[in-house]
Amino acid sequence: MTMITILLLALITFTTRYLFLEGRLPIRMGAKARQFLSYSGPAILTAICMPIIFIKDHHLNVALNNPYLGAAIVAIIAAWKTGNIYWTVGLGMLVFLLYSGLSL
Amino acid sequence: MKKVSHPFYSALGKGALDMLPLSLAVLPWGILFGSLAIQRGFTWLEAQALSAITFGGAVQIMAVELMADGASLFTVLFSAFVISSRHFLYGLTLRERLKTQPLRWRLSLGFLLTDELFALSGHRRAYKSRLRLFYALGAGGSFYLAWNAWTFIGIIAGASLPDLTELGLDFAIAATFIALVVPSIKSLSVLVAVLVAAVCSVTFELMDIELSLVFSGLLGMTAGFTVAQWERLQ
């Protein structure tokens, strides 16, 4: 029974991922729809990472000793100045580790 | 001398390398899931199967909790559908690029289309050439292997490992997404989309709104689209 449920769950996750990649699906997207969807990357990625930075245990944390916030600001500046994924993640993580070490 | 590597292999490797921070960032969650499943009475095979074929972190943790509590099949499946619904947006966004690709590419990359793979799909030419398809396969495939390895560690080590989710490895997710989003802000409309999504996501999350991610994404997209239309009228 558990295995059947797992298979059904797999069917659901796969369907939500694959459905719109199927060419035979009768969906035509016009220029406006495509432009609307062009914002999905920046908007969704932002919506995934902002709660990680700003929320701690169901509460807003904008204190100066929040290592996520301090390191995120450094990462944003690094991304803006270098445009390089390795520099941004490297510097961000470094600041994050120093910061959380200091605030412990 | 080693044979000069085929460009497809280097594309695979580049994808895996770009995915590395995200693969490592989910280590605590993979371990947490594996040990949670065992504690909730699942067999190791069922726990591993959830990672191997369902392959969706939030869906897996929810399913294990609900099934252990004896929730109805409908509740489990419906909750999985709600959590998974954000993937429709990813499929729609990538549709024009992927719908004409051969079935084997669509099936494999569709299966691997997590938040993390979508995050690495923003390049102008993403999925448009064989090399770019191999890049995506390297990124998505390496993430799949990592997630299953972390699950396996959680299954074996179980409760003997400390909770690593408080370690802050999830900052790597935030840093990677910042690295991908910030350079893409090249116009006022994208900036507005990002700011609206940011404010909405934090607000909705604090209000415990289900589908917070989908709603804040859609609102950000609407805001960006509206600004672009307005700019065209000017």
Give the start-to-end residue ranges of the domains of chain A: 2-102
Are residues B142 and B230 located together in one domain of the fold?
A: no
Question: What is the average pLDDT score of chain B?
Answer: 93
Are residues B167 and B196 located together in one domain of the fold?
A: no
Whether the predicted pLDDT of B46 surpasses 80: yes
Whether the predicted pLDDT of A104 surpasses 60: no
Are residues B132 and B194 located together in one domain of the fold?
A: no
Please provide the DSSP assignment of B192-228 as one string: HHHHHHHHHHHHHHHTT-TTHHHHHHHHHHHHHHHHH
pLDDT at residue number B222: 98
Region B15-34 average pLDDT: 94
* Cβ separation B168–A100 shorter than 8 A: yes
Residue A55, helix vs strand vs coil? strand
Of residues B227, B62, B82, the one with CA closest to residue A43: B227
The two tokens of residue B114 are 């997590």
Test mutation, A1, A3, A17, chain B, max B CBs within 10 A: A17
| The last residue of a domain, from among B143, B171, B199 | B171
Taking a C-beta distance cutoff of 8 angstroms, is the pair A71, A95 a contact?
Answer: yes
Of residues A60, A35, A93, A34, the one with CA closest to residue B178: A93
Are residues B16 and B96 located together in one domain of the fold?
A: yes
A48 pLDDT band, cuts 50/70/90, is very high
Whether the predicted pLDDT of B215 surpasses 80: yes
Strands (DSSP E) found in A27-84: 55-56, 59-60
| The last residue of a domain, from among B134, B149, B171 | B171
Residue B230: domain span: 185-234
The two tokens of residue B113 are 């289309």
Shortest distance between the Cα of A90 and any Cα of chain B, in A, equals 9
B223 pLDDT band, cuts 50/70/90, is very high
Are residues B113 and B190 located together in one domain of the fold?
A: no
| The last residue of a domain, from among B140, B171, B202 | B171
pLDDT at residue number B2: 55
Whether the predicted pLDDT of A35 surpasses 80: yes
Q: Give per-residue pLDDT as tens, B7-22.
A: 899 999 999 999 999 9
Shortest distance between the Cα of A67 and any Cα of chain B, in A, equals 9
Whether the predicted pLDDT of B210 surpasses 90: no
Dist CA A45 CA A43 (whole Å): 6
Q: Give per-residue pLDDT as tens, B119-129.
A: 999 888 999 99
* Cβ separation B185–A42 shorter than 8 A: yes
Partners of A61 on chain B (C-beta within 8 Å) are: none
Are residues B148 and B224 located together in one domain of the fold?
A: no
Q: Is residue B112 part of a domain?
A: yes
ipTM above 0.85, yes or no: yes
Nearest-by-CA chain B residue for A3? B46
Of A7, A29, A46, the CB nearest to B181: A46
Are residues B45 and B160 located together in one domain of the fold?
A: yes
Of A20, A35, A50, the CB nearest to B95: A20
* Cβ separation A41–B181 shorter than 8 A: yes
A103 pLDDT band, cuts 50/70/90, is low
Of B59, B118, B198, the CB nearest to A13: B59
pLDDT over 70 for what percent of chain B?
98
> How far are the Cα atoms of B89, B155, B187 from residue B229, in angstroms, in the given order?
21, 52, 13
Shortest distance between the Cα of B52 and any Cα of chain A, in A, equals 9
Of residues B219, B226, B231, the one with CA closest to residue B194: B219
**Range with the poorest average pLDDT among A4-13, A20-29, B101-110, B167-176:** B167-176
Whether the predicted pLDDT of B4 surpasses 70: no
Q: Is residue B229 part of a domain?
A: yes
Of A2, A9, A55, the CB nearest to B205: A55
Are residues B79 and B129 located together in one domain of the fold?
A: yes
What's the domain count of chain B? Answer: 2
